[in-house]
Structure 1
């Protein structure tokens, strides 16, 4: 791919005069391949979400299992929980001024490798036919599709069918799937002027971040995903963070 295809707005004079020290290699940690758009920048408005367990559908005596106290840094999140006991009902509560925006949601019990399939999913208000259907988007393995509530402050109630003691929850808010996607194949390049793009090696994503320790300091970089997606943009590192052009 030509440099100007992925970074058409980059100043050419600045680019060719950039100082790249190929004798000084640095370590970088990468989380994305494309800049964050404003509609997904806060990752589904999830700061303030509460997750509770209870014995009864009315949640008369709930236990707080997890509270999201800050905006997640990535889309793929494993929430470790340590409930006091087994619960049949799990409640996901959005903050009063925010919608539910969930791309994927799966609950795992102790010593069980497969996610629990809820017997039923309801809300604290009647759901329209469309929104009942869209509940399936939280378990379709598509990281871009998402369920969005009709109202702010919605509470989703998951009936597990019988009591389970949860161990962890896969929690993926609304996102653009331009974060590091587990299992995908990536290759990082740096631009070497007349030599074009030089590979710094391929990586299979085993986590939500990629690590490279052979990056020339000050280099213009490009992360290519061989597995999926078309949105990619050149970037450079500043104070340990990716700055996209």
Structure 2
């Protein structure tokens, strides 16, 4: 049957009816049966049977006989990337390889398994098609690989674990990798890699991407070191290199990790002075991360040479900001050098800035994102038009965005010499037909006596010298009650949403009325100081962040006295996750470690 025939209306109705029936039956099954939990929180040898292992080994060696790509593998790679029944050590094991094979192999019989791209493409297709039949994810616990078929949030860990385990069960050499953390954002990501016929490791995200020959589709610009889960013990890991009793950070406390950063990113060796006392064998380079209580995550380790009084790191990524630290036996971090930026050429750039220790004004907890700034720039030339004809024929241009909008409320004054008008619209340019405005209010004067008004949002107060005072005559004009329009992104109170898919926004009144100003905010990440939010300010000092301020912001700025040249971290306890360390320069301006 031709693929196009599936787009026939009658065929689609038939498919939809099958899906509806399947979902109803599945919901009944789910309600009647307990959650499927077979995995054990124990060593595998306590519950995996000899028969399971023998069948698994026989099955995998059969792939070595049948498939050219498996036959070409070195013995070491075969044992590491095809034979193991686990893809992540210590992860829950709900199914065994025979279950994975029985599920997926029937979908791969008509394709060339020596092409890892074809196999992954078919895997993604099968999972995505099955998702169309299953209902929303119904479980609070793990049920096995079938959880991949249910709509709803799925964490990248099971996605990568099941994906790689299923591919291995079908004879594809594969592994799971993860990045230690990100340059600027919280969390980490688990992904899969497959070994192609040329011996290259290709990265991909199961279900959503296909490995490419040059890994160009895998975004690495913001990640720190990448680690692969191995089957065999890796003797060059902190798990084995630590001195008896030495603390090893949790991320590295495993014998099955291998640093594979170099297959996706440029790395360099780096030697740093180390003159600390103690018996540690290891020191670490850490990266900032606001998602952990300590505010830093170690991302790579180095071997200490006490004779030469230095430490050597083998795999360091340039264009990253690092905190050199070591750990006490109880896990407390200490500095063995000042934080530094390693530029793209591998040169250490000291970020120490001699600022004043006087009171400084802080306006942000995270730098403005260039992509959002670019959108604000493209709004220049956007016009506000007014008319008494609903089709805007004719219309008057009563205002224009002439400068780059800043990431907070600001006013565009309108020309009402020919007003009042019944209809208003925000019209973007032909070059950029996207209304990337997150918030929008039509302002009028209370003295007009209009009934369809509510209180307007205040303009920001950005410094102690700001003479801005509330204009009690300004109110917000409404064309509909707020409760009816809050679903619209320009009225939802969220600076991070906007109607940018559309070229215009219209404001349609029941009768002509004066609009004196448009109060608008461009799409932004909401990382400025928010009045009413609770903040903490930390200063980096000898391996840890020490709190120097805790206060609720009264305005859109915070004033604080800081130590000269200190590295700072401003944390919003009320909301938001994006935070980044910064210095304050001699002009009192915040300089973030990444612009």
> If the length of structure 2 is used for normalisation, what is the TM-score?
0.34
In the alignment, which residue of structure 1 is the partner of 2:304?
none
Pairwise CA distance, 1:199: 1.7
Q: Give, in whole Å, the separation in 1 of the partners of 2:384 and 2:423.
A: 11
In the alignment, which residue of structure 1 is the partner of 2:365?
33
User: Would you say how many aligned residue pairs link Structure 1 and Structure 2?
Assistant: 225
In the alignment, which residue of structure 2 is the partner of 1:190?
539
In the alignment, which residue of structure 2 is the partner of 1:102?
437
Q: Give, in whole Å, the separation in 2 of the partners of 1:95 and 1:138.
A: 18
CA contact (8 A) 2:529 2:553 kept: no
In the alignment, which residue of structure 2 is the partner of 1:124?
none
In the alignment, which residue of structure 1 is the partner of 2:583?
236
CA contact (8 A) 1:116 1:160 kept: no
Shifted more, 9-18 versus 39-48: the winner is 9-18
Q: For residues 136-158 of structure 1, give each alpha carbon's deviation from its aligned partner in whole angstroms, at most 9, with x where no partner exists.
A: 111112222221225xxx23332
Cα pair distance change 1:26/1:145, threshold 3 Å: same
Secondary structure at 2:516's aligned position in 1? strand
CA contact (8 A) 1:218 1:236 kept: yes
Cα pair distance change 1:20/1:174, threshold 3 Å: closer
In the alignment, which residue of structure 2 is the partner of 1:83?
416
Cα pair distance change 1:102/1:135, threshold 3 Å: farther
CA contact (8 A) 1:47 1:69 kept: yes
**Aligned equivalent of 1:4, options 269, 273, 296:** 296
Q: Tell me, which stretches of 5 or more residues in structure 2 are unaligned?
A: 1-292, 300-319, 325-336, 341-349, 447-452, 456-475
Q: For residues 82-123 of structure 1, give each alpha carbon's deviation from its aligned partner in whole angstroms, at most 9, with x where no partner exists.
A: 53332211121112211222222121221154433335xxxx
Q: Tell me, which stretches of 5 or more residues in structure 1 are unaligned?
A: 120-132
Question: Is residue 161 from structure 1 mapped to residue 487 from structure 2 by the alignment?
Answer: no
Pairwise CA distance, 1:234: 0.8
CA contact (8 A) 2:387 2:393 kept: yes
Pairwise CA distance, 1:20: 8.1
Q: Give, in whole Å, the separation in 1 of the partners of 2:298 and 2:438.
A: 27
Alignment of 1:41-120 (within 5 A): 41-44=373-376, 45-57=378-390, 58-65=392-399, 67-81=400-414, 83-84=416-417, 85-98=419-432, 99-111=434-446, 112-114=453-455, 115-118=476-479
Q: Give, in whole Å, the separation in 2 of the partners of 1:241 and 1:186.
A: 19
CA contact (8 A) 1:40 1:175 kept: yes
Question: Is residue 141 from structure 1 mapped to residue 141 from structure 2 by the alignment?
Answer: no
CA contact (8 A) 2:409 2:519 kept: yes
